[in-house]
Amino acid sequence: MRKRVKKIGILLAPVYAIIYEIGQLFGGECEVCLKKMRKPMPGFTIHHIKYKMGEKIHSDFSNRLDYYTYLLPIVIKSKNRFAFLCNACHHSLDGPRGLNRRKKENVLRLITMWKMGQRHKKT
């Protein structure tokens, strides 16, 4: 068991290094909650705002290192199609219960409902 954890760590270290490098293009913080990535570490990812035709996606690769190696020059070239996010914020968008899995009109209703509630909140 201990051996297996170590192996995963070795495999993922270069992945975190690339994500960190990408993060530096975005000021090194999550665009939503402003959580900082101060060093290569787990917990952050790059989010596609817009996909281009023919562009490969995560599932086209057998591991994260190949995916992020492919992605790095693309992000450098077209930064405005991406957002740097922490995993929690990314899950809110793309996770199994994320907003991208909901119908667009329901997301808008949800935000409207949330805004209405804000009026009664004393902060």
* Of 17 and 32, CB closest to Zn ion: 32
Alpha carbon distance 74, 49 (integer Å): 13
Nearer to Zn ion, 21 or 29 (CB): 29
Which helix or strand (DSSP H or E) is residue 44 part of? strand 44-48
Q: Residue 63 corresponds to which tokens in the numbers above? A: 């591991």
Q: Which is nearer to Zn ion, 81 or 91 (CB)?
A: 91
Considering the rule CB under 5 A, would residue 41 count as an interface residue with Zn ion? no
CA angle 58, 61, 63 (to 5 degrees): 95
One-letter amino acid of 47? H
**Cβ 99 to Zn ion, closest distance in Å?**
14
Q: Among 18, 22, 30, 46, which residue interacts with Zn ion (rule: CB under 5 A)?
A: 30
Residues found near Zn ion in the complex (CB under 5 A): 30, 32-33, 35, 86, 89
